[in-house]
Amino acid sequence: MTALWLVLLLNLSIFFLGVFIWAVIQHFLIAEIPSALRHPVKFRCMHCVALFFITMGNILEKLRICSMPRFIQCLHDLVIKKNHNLMVTNMYFGTIPVRLFQPKAVSSKLLRDSYHNLCSFLAQETESVVLSVGYRKLPDHCYPSVPNDCLNATIHFMKGLKSYGVDSSRVVVCGESIGGGVVAIVTQALLNFPSLPKICAQVLITPATQIINFRLPSHQQNQNVPFLTKDLLMTSLCKYLDIDLSWKDAVASGTSIPPDTWKKYKKWLTFDNIPRRFKSKSLLPEFPGHFDEAAYLETRHVLTAETSPLLADSKIIAQLPQAFLVSCENDPLRDDALLYKKRLEDEGVPVTWYHVEDGFHGCIILFDKQPFSFPCSIKIANAVVSYIKGI
């Protein structure tokens, strides 16, 4: 029996080693390491590990043991840190699970509120009440579950701000990556509820603000930069929007966009709105590709402001609260932030822009993950805290 276990252990070790070697080979074949990045060796090591876990998740999914998103979520949950200076409460707003972070120290002042995946850090550093929404996730739920859950939870919470000691004039909504795009969507949608307190500010960290033009300079320049390569971005987007992966290339090239739709939105999505210093001479011809009606019929449900907040009517944009926008130089979504910044500014909305030259997509997640944190991670986290405290 002991020999059987040893053989099994040896085979598993060989299997895991083989997968890791494959991940390392994949990294050196496809990954591009930005020259401005600090600690490139650490960056390479982390990407190899990330590829290893993603591959393991895909293997488990194909074996029907566990879906890849659930596997990654379980790994993420293992590194959550407890903060003894906060009171954390799990509750439900209807069917939506939420987690409330509150400073234990009693304050004589009403507290502001914000939504963010770094809830514990923000709650402590800004002395704020922070609500995190446990929206429905892949693989069981796709669009529009995320924006709907976030909007419904926000409305529920806004109706009871006094019970949490929150100052109704200082409510902040905040999100990162797809969450940043959802924050923009929710902030726009809340304009339809005039009886609710108004949002004081929106904090959008490397947000996804449009899902139409994937040939912007940042998409071309950073398509092979970990941890959001072009392939991963388009695969994740299709799964989120419930689009068959066979249409992934059509979405990426823009062949699913009707000419009249592109003509209508080009003024907000064109290269011309990107500052010159973010462009390079080696860029491919501008979007879109030759129209494919079949691709359009499969993807047309995404061509709205409810999925791309950048496309909202100017009358809506003009009513939005002040914004804090974070962009990273080595991020394929960099230009999403730049385009939304211009839209807000064109309609007179005050914008504070924080650009990180050595930043990459998702780096803020690592701000407290020593020794895996990067200088850009700390800078963004502190910049968000500084902005919120200054409101």
Note the pLDDT of residue 80: 57
Using the Cα atoms of residue 360, residue 361, residue 367 and residue 370 in order, give the sign of their dihedral.
Answer: negative
- Band the pLDDT of 114: cuts 50, 70, 90: very low
Q: What are phi and psi of 219, to 5 degrees?
A: -70, -40
Would you give the distance in Å from CA 126 to the centre of its chain? 22
Q: Where are the alpha helices (DSSP H) in the chain?
A: 2-30, 40-62, 68-77, 119-126, 145-158, 178-189, 217-221, 230-240, 248-253, 259-269, 293-299, 314-317, 334-346, 375-390
Which residue in the block uniquely carries the two structure tokens 């299709």?
238
Q: Are 101 and 86 in contact (CB under 8 A)?
A: yes
For 172-202, how does the pLDDT look when each residue is reduced to its tens digit (9 = 90+)? 999 999 999 999 999 999 999 999 999 999 9
pLDDT for 116 equals 38
Q: What is the dihedral of CA 86, 92, 96, 100, to 10 degrees?
A: -10
What pLDDT, in 10s, does the model give residues 136-153? 888 788 899 999 999 999
* Nearest-angstrom CA–CA distance, 288 and 54: 31
**CA distance from start to end of the chain:** 66
- The tens digit of pLDDT for each residue in 257-281 reads 999 999 999 999 998 899 989 988 6
Reported as a pLDDT band with limits 50, 70 and 90, residue 110 is: low
Catalytic residue IDs: 177, 331, 361
Q: What single DSSP character describes residue 216?
A: S
Task: Give the tens place of pLDDT for each residue, 345-354.
Answer: 999 999 999 9
